[in-house]
Structure 1
Amino acid sequence: MAKDKKKSAMISHGIAAQNRKGRFDYSIKETVEAGIVLKGPEVKSLRLGRATITEAYAGEREGEIWLFNVYIPEYQGGVLSRFEPRAPRKLLLHNKQIDKLLGEVKKSGYTLVPLDIHFNDRGVAKVTIGLGEGRKNADKRHAIAERDWQRDKARLMRARG
């Protein structure tokens, strides 16, 4: 019976962690889905949905793209293997994708923003990386006003029937 409760709390498909502030602070030009190198207990902790990526960022190290400052807490399920919760984690991308992303970062000054960590249909952990450009405060105010207008418009349409 205890196993059934534990299984229902785990996420096999869907979003494990989301960076909502990333879409607000940056205007995302393009997104790329990348695999992530994880250890067993990290995957179990991710399936419980306890990861945080609001302060995370992606960058280059030795010609590859890595994810820095992602917080994945230790899994408390009796596993002896310990890991660093904020350790850098390697992203799995094709060489063409890496060259394209790093070229855009160097040429146009874009930033690689992790938008979410999710599990695909096969149960494999993936990271959505956005190629974003920082927004100014006026742009952020415009985004807030647009979001409020869309909410009010939907409310009015529902009221009309």
Structure 2
Amino acid sequence: MEVVAGASDRGMFMTLMLILGAIAALYCLRLLFRSAKFALPVCAAIALGFALRDLGFGWLTILGSALIAGLAVLALGRRLVGGAAPFPVKLCVILMFVGAAAFAGYQAGTALAILGGLEAGAKHGLAFLSGLLTGYASWRDLVSPAVSAERPALSV
């Protein structure tokens, strides 16, 4: 009887770990696609960091300057879209942010499809869908940042 009871406890533990693992995986996917909308500021920060490294600056200067550059690109983009800039300027800024986010989402979708072992058609479909959804999330965040900032937290 003890062997069966131990197997039952072990099965329950494995079931619990599978459920918690699935929840953690879904949370990581959500985090991946939510962070993809910051692709343009991150690319700007990395480009500045590499340029400063090639010029011989120290790591503290590189990291500080890259952080400031990334935050400045994000703040400037939000200010231009939300301010009184002319429509063509707003459109160009939105397209730059959305294009970078959509490309990052497409690449993330391709990687997930490859990890999942999907065939070519399904792989391209998942990649296109994830790029489209990530681009939409970036557009929504850029056009109305107050909506995402005022989203209520989950209460227990």
The two structures have a TM-score, normalised by structure 1, of 0.26
Q: Which has the higher helix share?
A: 2
Q: Which has the higher strand share?
A: 1
Is the radius of gyration larger for structure 1 or structure 2? 2
Identify which of structures 1 and 2 has the higher relative contact order when contacts are C-alpha pairs closer than 8 Å and 6+ apart: 1
The two structures have a TM-score, normalised by structure 2, of 0.27
